[in-house]
């Protein structure tokens, strides 16, 4: 499949062996800085659509967001999203994501160079949410995905996301559950039948009472408790499906974030000690009506991934 193009084995290990890897990237710099722990992370931006469609809020009305990821080698990714409040109909958001694997050489049966080609993923997503009861919202989104490899091969898929989020504002906490990427692959590249990277997630966040710190925990891939060494115990397997994060909310205009993904750490580490693979950090700034987020994710000796997200309300 196209996800193998231009990626090292270690890098590819971070994306489930399925079609349309663009669906598995952390959707924003804030989410990436929190190691992907965002299922229950209340967000006023239009890009929250990609974390959990129930998080799309009326506050996203008129918000435009743009995100860019400088990945390994020539790989790059990004998205743009726009939110709209439709009153009694609910809050809606639409966005388009892309993942480009850059240019690579084509070779004939003799191994001789025979031109160059490119590979890319694109996904168009539309979704929204509505209030159900006090503090409770539900939402859903649909996505149309397309993969192109060179000029002769392509794949198309259709996916559905759905979620619930409960905002317990009196206790400064939120709970959420979401299911992602359910649907058929309409056409595949080659003889292998691809599938979408289904993902069941449960999340929890809490704002501490006496410290400006928001803590976040997300369980992911809960529908298939895989991962870890063959002799791993129950706790180790749970850690393989858990993301931990925190955000120091010093003010509305300035935040410092950090996160940890144990699966990523274990699969990418090359040192027995002090290997920062799986750790992430970042900052958030708000100046006037513009918001800027930056994230750095460590991939051990492979390097660091730099991501930015810019949002503005119009």
Which strand (E) or helix (H) includes residue 223?
A: none
d(CA 19, CA 101): 14
What's the residue count for the chain? Answer: 314
Question: How many other C-beta atoms lie within 10 A of the C-beta of residue 302?
Answer: 16
* Average pLDDT of the segment spanning 71-83: 85
Q: Which residue has the higher pLDDT, 244 or 187?
A: 244
Among residues 291, 123, 103, the alpha carbon closest in space to that of 197 is found at 123
Domains of the chain (ranges plus CATH)?
2-313 (2.40.160.60)
pLDDT band at 11 (very low <50, low <70, confident <90, very high): very low
* Average pLDDT of the segment spanning 237-242: 87
Burial 191-205 (b: 16+ CB within 10 A, else e): eeebbbbbbbbbbbb
Q: What confidence tens digit (pLDDT) does each residue in 182-218 have?
A: 999 888 776 667 788 999 999 999 999 989 999 999 9
Question: How many other C-beta atoms lie within 10 A of the C-beta of residue 30?
Answer: 30
Q: Which residues, including other chains, have CB under 8 Å from residue 4's CB and lie 6 or more apart?
A: 12
pLDDT band at 96 (very low <50, low <70, confident <90, very high): very high
Q: How many helices (H) and strands (E) does the chain have?
A: 4, 15
* pLDDT number for residue 137: 95
pLDDT band at 107 (very low <50, low <70, confident <90, very high): low
pLDDT band at 1 (very low <50, low <70, confident <90, very high): very low
* pLDDT number for residue 84: 94
Assess whether pLDDT exceeds 50 at residue 276: yes
Q: At 193, list the tokens.
A: 């039948």
Which residue is associated with the tokens 């359910």? 182
Read out DSSP for 187-214? E-SSSSPP----EEEEEEEEE-SSSSEE
pLDDT band at 314 (very low <50, low <70, confident <90, very high): low
Instruction: Quote the mean pLDDT of the chain.
Output: 84
The proportion of the chain whose per-residue pLDDT surpasses 90, expressed as a percent, equals: 51
Which strand (E) or helix (H) includes residue 20?
A: none
């Amino acid at each position: 499949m196209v996800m193998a193009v231009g990626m090292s084995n270690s890098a590819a290990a971070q994306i489930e062996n399925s079609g349309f890897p663009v669906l598995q990237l952390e959707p924003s710099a804030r989410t990436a800085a929190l190691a992907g722990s965002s299922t229950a992370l209340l967000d006023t931006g239009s890009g929250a659509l990609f974390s959990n469609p129930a998080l799309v809020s009326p506050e996203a009305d008129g918000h435009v967001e743009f995100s860019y990821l400088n990945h390994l080698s020539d790989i790059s990714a990004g998205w743009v999203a726009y939110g709209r409040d439709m009153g009694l109909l609910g809050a809606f958001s639409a966005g388009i994501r892309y993942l480009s694997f850059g240019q690579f050489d084509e070779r004939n049966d003799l191994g001789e160079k025979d031109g160059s080609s490119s590979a890319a993923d694109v996904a168009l997503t539309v979704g929204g949410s509505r209030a159900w009861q006090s503090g409770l919202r539900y939402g859903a989104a649909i996505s149309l995905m397309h993969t192109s490899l060179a000029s002769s091969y392509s794949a198309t898929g259709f996916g559905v996301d759905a979620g619930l989020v409960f905002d317990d504002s009196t206790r400064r906490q939120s709970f959420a559950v979401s299911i992602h990427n359910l649907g058929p692959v309409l056409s595949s590249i080659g003889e292998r039948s691809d599938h979408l990277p289904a993902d069941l997630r449960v999340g929890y966040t809490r704002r501490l009472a006496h410290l400006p710190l928001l803590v976040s925990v997300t369980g992911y891939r809960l529908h298939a408790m895989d991962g870890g060494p063959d002799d791993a115990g129950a706790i180790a397997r749970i850690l393989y499906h858990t993301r931990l994060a925190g955000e120091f909310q010093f003010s509305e205009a300035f935040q410092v974030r950090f996160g940890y993904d144990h699966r990523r750490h274990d699969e990418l580490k090359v040192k027995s000690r002090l290997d920062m693979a799986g750790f992430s950090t970042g900052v958030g700034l708000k100046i006037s009506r513009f918001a800027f987020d930056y994230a750095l994710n460590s991939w051990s000796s492979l390097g660091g991934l730099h991501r930015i997200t810019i949002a503005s309300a119009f």
